[in-house]
Structure 1
Amino acid sequence: MAHAQLLISYGQAFVAPERRQHRSSMSVRLPEAPLLKVKGGCAVISDSISRNTMAKQAGDLSVRGFLSDYYSTPEHWDTKTSATRVLRALNSWCYSQSQHVKEGSFVSSLSAMVFLGREGHLFHMGDTLVFRLRGAEFEQLTRDHVTDVGGYRYPSRALGMDGSVDIDYTHLALKQGDLFVFTTQAVRGTLMPSDYVRLIRQDASDLDAACERLANEAKQRAQERGYGGDQFCFQLLRIDELP
């Protein structure tokens, strides 16, 4: 009998006003079998503040940089060592680059999750959000690191904010059917846990469509509450089969 391997499905949706640049970035990478067995699959989301003129570059760069560097780490390094070293190096690079630009910075919040074998490894900095939906239980896996300055909430402990960085690390056992939601701070004050459960469960066979439902409902709620049509991005990832 052939051994089952890790099988993952995912979907994504982005809602953003045309005239404004994206300031969030997200990606999923599921490599071919040999690399999947050694390094696992990976989902990343990053988000920079709207006041940052280089928000789009910061978000894109952190996601692309993490994925390319993580999969280039030596095979004998474990997941925690690989991801932590990559994030520390990326943090130093972003921090040093920010010293050379006149406006804006390479600072962004980032959450990255590696799925390897029957385990999940979550690395988190700043205020991006990762939730897990298991059965009817909806749980936030990340902590919001934010500072209030003059009525505005800014991410703290974010990537590129300082020469050194504190990285939250969470180790999880995976279950078949687990759903992970990756999103950004813009969603705060729009969707309740019951909304996530309802909108995802409405039809979880098409994860792109489920993400679209989440994004559209968040946008609608934001407009009703006078937040304006801020940008929302959602990434949904489901564990279909475990080795």
Structure 2
Amino acid sequence: MSRELKITVGQHSDKGRKETNQDFHGVLIPDEPLLSLKGIAIVLADGISSSNVSRIAAESAVKGFLTDYYCTSESWSVRTSAQRVLEATNSWLHSQTRRSQYSYDKDRGYVCTLSALVIKSTTAHLFHVGDSRIYRVSGTTLEQLTNDHRVVISSEQSYLGRALGVNSQIEIDYLMSRVEKGDTFVLVTDGIYEHVGERVIARVVKDGADDLDQAARAIVELAYELGSKDNLTVQIVRVDELPDAAAREVFGQPHELPLPPLLEARAVFDGYRIIRELHGSSRSHIYLAVDIETDAVVAIKIPSIDLRDDPAYLKRFMMEEWVARRIDSPHVLKPCPPQRKRNFLYVVTEFIDGQTLTQWMIDNPKPGLETVRGIVEQIAKGLRAFHRKEMLHQDIRPDNIMIDATGTVKIIDFGSTKITGVAEASPPGSRNDILGTQQYTAPEYFLGEQVSSRSDLFSLGVITYQMLTGKLPYGAQIARARTRSQFGKLVYAPAAHGSRDIPQWIDGTLEKAVHPNPAKRYDSLSEFLFDLRHPNANYLNTSSTPLIERNPLLFWKSTTIVLALAVILLLALQHGGHR
């Protein structure tokens, strides 16, 4: 039986010797699929003693995090989700202070510290601002995982250097750490750790393993007995079970629905009348159909007959509709919401009355530069919709781009999409297959390096080059390259040297977009699009650029030839001298 993430939590908070308790804390353990997609959140906030409203700040920060974090996009990483929430919370607290009577006295405003721990799959994500602390139990003591943002002026005077609500902008410390079964984390406010030693806390946690609530209460009582004059809060979190598979409940299990048969024209299938097959390949079968209830024309995609015994393929097939439902762009294929219960595994999308970019290039072998720009800009808009959700399409190629009768360009086929939030839920050592098409796939995939939006940019650059030249920027070379050395030897074929009239500055733009090294590509799609429309001075005159930078292989070949000729000349002169 598969395992899911499980923890045991013990926590206790007390006002101590103060009149009110300005600390606030909370834990949220969601059900699936959020457990796999978002993980478990543990949060602790400490209001500052100089403020009468910091209790409100602490409570708002904790409740806001536990509520809003789980409302962020399911495709986002933990880091992106948490930081967006904390930045919004900080802005709200700061604005509350600005509107209050304490607008010129921040120490009395809506200010608090915050330490948050999110455990997702086999990783702990820590977010921290202020002087509360997060520890991990390490043997007989504690390992401090956060840094105190407290500035010490003297032995009797110090102040918080960083806290939520102080300024309109906030810098949040972030740490990611692998967790193992049995790992125990301790979150405490300064009223605890300033009086109870780390070894003592570790011993109390170990001795109270059977009742972590009682252990937390014992630590609070000990801090009080040792003279603490502050509020006292402790949270203890022990990891009892770790998941053994990657976010399995996100898309469901492939065997939950039976696989459909190949469909025939005029057949009725799950409430749809099949008109004809639109496309069939080793990857999928796509049919034109009409919804019998609504008369809506749709496309139905069913799994490939050849790959139905491949669980990884079926999981990716199920992922396509999940991805499509989370992207809203006129340049991305739109899914059709289920009108009724499905009896088979398939995907229903809008029908695009048009042609693939592959067919468009056949019909338009020499398109104008402005036409190419218009298509590329629409593809880029679709890619931005993926990237905003922290997704990479990973298979941008002419066959996966449709152009409808109105000239609108749409990206299709999401079976290769990388979803950052889902990838985080994968267990260590999960297989990362290269799912894109070789000629359009960025080199970093083959090298096993980190991929990014620049990887999709590479594919878009290759397509742009192909539309303008009818060829590929590296020809057949890239199909044989697999090592860093081989990719480093790739020679870009200048687009401006072909039969078509392509400006030199466009060529420079394309060469940068498809550079084998992602660090030397454009930082963003917008930069690439800008240079496609506005001549970049760096590409207007390449004569000032050394040959070794423009074409390293040609430089070294030329140098070798020159040196060989020099040697031959010297040998000839030496031979003549001996006569």
TM interval, shorter chain, is over 0.9
**Structure with more of its chain in strand, by fraction:** 1
Match of residue 19 from structure 2: 20
Partner of residue 99, structure 2:
100
Residues 49-82 of structure 1 show CA distances to partners (whole Å, capped at 9, x for unaligned) of 1111102111101100111110000111111110
Contact preservation (8 Å) 1:181, 1:234: yes
In structure 1, give the amino acid aligned to 2:95: S
User: Hey, what does 1:168 align to over in structure 2?
Assistant: 173
Partner residue, 1:7:
6
Letter in 1 for 2:47: S
Distance 2:63 2:158 in 1: 26
Where does residue 211 of structure 2 map in the other structure?
206
Using the TM superposition, give the Cα deviation of residue 148 of structure 1 relative to its aligned residue in structure 2, in angstroms.
3.8
Alignment of 1:1-243 (within 5 A): 2-17=1-16, 20-103=19-102, 104-148=108-152, 151-222=156-227, 227-228=228-229, 230-243=230-243
The alpha-carbon deviation at position 110 of structure 1 amounts to 0.3
The secondary structure found in structure 2 opposite 1:33 is coil
Amino acid at match of 2:239: I
Code of the aligned partner of 2:186: V
In 2, the alpha carbon distance for the partners of 1:69 and 1:155 equals 26
Inter-partner Cα distance in structure 1 for 2:4 and 2:49: 41
Letter in 1 for 2:14: V
Q: TM-score, normalised by structure 2?
A: 0.40
Distance in 2 of aligned mates of 1:24 and 1:100: 23
Q: Deviations over 1:135-179 (max 9, x none)?
A: 435201110001246843322211111111111000000011111
CA contact (8 A) 2:141 2:199 kept: no
Q: Which sections of structure 2, spanning at least 5 residues, go unmatched?
A: 103-107, 244-579
Amino acid at match of 2:151: T
Letter in 2 for 1:25: F
- The percentage of counterpart residues that share the same residue type is 35
Contact residue 22 and residue 55 of structure 1 kept, 8 A: no
Shift of 1:102: 1.1
Partner of 2:296: none
Q: Give the 3 Å change call, closer, same or farther, for CA 44–207 of structure 1 in structure 2.
A: same
Change (3 A) 1:178 1:48: same
Is 94-103 or 121-130 further displaced after alignment? 94-103
Of the structure 1 ranges 129-138 and 154-163, higher mean CA displacement relative to structure 2 is found in 129-138
- Contact 2:141/2:203 (<8 A) preserved: no
SS, match of residue 114 in structure 1:
strand
Q: Report the 3-state secondary structure (helix = DSSP H, G, I; strand = E; otherwise coil) of the residue aligned with 2:99.
A: coil
In structure 1, what is the Cα distance between the partners aligned to 2:47 and 2:125? 23
The count of corresponding residues between Structure 1 and Structure 2 is 237
Q: 2 CA distance for matches of 1:149 and 1:97?
A: 29
Q: Using a 3 Å threshold, how does the CA distance of structure 1 residues 137 and 191 change in structure 2: closer, same or farther?
A: closer
Q: Does the aligned pair in 1 maintain the 2:16–2:232 contact within 8 Å?
A: no
Higher-helix-fraction structure: 2
CA–CA separation in structure 2 for the residues paired with 1:197 and 1:18: 24
Which amino acid is the alignment partner of residue 162 of structure 2?
R
Amino acid at match of 2:83: T
Provide the TM-score with structure 1 as the length reference: 0.93
Quote how far apart the aligned CAs of 1:203 are: 2.2
1:66-107 CA-to-partner distances (Å, cap 9, x unmatched) read: 111100001111111101111111111111111111143111
Distance 2:207 2:70 in 1: 35
Q: Which amino acid aligns with 2:161?
A: S
Residue 439 of structure 2 corresponds to none
8 Å CA contact 1:44–1:63 kept in 2: the answer is yes
**Counterpart amino acid of residue 105 in structure 1:** G
Tell me how far 1:33 sits from its aligned partner: 2.1
What is the alpha-carbon distance in structure 2 between the residues aligned to residue 102 and residue 44 of structure 1?
29
Amino acid at match of 2:183: D
Q: CA 1:165/1:67 → structure 2, altered by over 3 Å: closer, same or farther?
A: same
Residue type of the alignment partner of 2:148: D
**Unpaired segments of 5 or more residues in structure 1?**
none
Higher relative contact order, chain-length normalized (CA < 8 Å, sep 6+): 1
Q: 1:99 to 1:149 in 2, by over 3 A?
A: farther
C-alpha RMSD of the superposition: 1.6
Runs of 4+ in 1 over 6 A off after TM superposition: none
Query: CA separation in 2, counterparts of 1:40 and 1:206?
Result: 23
